Amino acid sequence: MIDTPGATHYRWDDMKAEPLKGNLTRRMITGTSMMIAEVRFAKGDHVPKHAHHNEQITHIIAGALQFRLGDDQKREVIVRAGEVLVIPPHEPHSATALEDTIDIDIFSPPREDWLNGSDAYIRNEG
C-alpha cells in the first residue's frame, strides 16, 4: 500500500490472501463506499446460496463460474473470462467454479460481513 494525498495505491501481490471454504481465497480492498475483492476458485469450489443488501458486479478474469439465481436457484448463468455479471441487491445467488477461476467482485456498499468475519457461508467453519 502506498499513501498519496487523497488516494491510496495498492498492489494485489502485496495483499494477503485469506483462505476460505475449500480452495477459495480472497483479497480485499475497501474504500469509503465501495469494495473490490479478488476471489480465486479451484475447479469445483462452491459458494452456497446467499443474498446481501450490496449491489455486486462480478468480472471473471480467468476461468468460468456457473451462477444460480433466485430463491428457487432455477436461473442459470455461466460467466466466463472477459464477461461481467451484475447482481442486484437482495438477489439470492450461488456460484460453482467450472474450472480454476479468478473473479473480481465489486460491492457497494462494502460487505460488512466480509470485513468483520461473520460470513460463515463462505468459510470453512460455515
End-to-end CA distance of the chain: 31
pLDDT band at 96, cuts 50/70/90? very high
Looking at residue 61, which CATH number applies to its domain?
A: 2.60.120.10
Q: Would 65 be classed as within a structural domain?
A: yes
Q: Which strands make up the sheet holding 35-41, listed edge to edge?
A: 18-19, 25-30, 35-41, 101-108, 55-62, 84-87
23-61 tens-digit pLDDT = 999 999 999 999 999 999 999 999 999 999 999 999 999
Q: Would 11 be classed as within a structural domain?
A: no
One-letter-per-residue 3-state SS of 54-90: CEEEEEEEECEEEEEECCCCCEEEEEECCCEEEECCC
Q: Would 110 be classed as within a structural domain?
A: yes
Q: Would 4 be classed as within a structural domain?
A: no
Q: What pTM does this model have?
A: 0.91
Count of structural domains within the chain: 1
Q: Would 5 be classed as within a structural domain?
A: no
What is the rounded (10 degree) CA torsion for 20, 21, 25, 26? -60
Domain extent, residue 30, equals 18-122
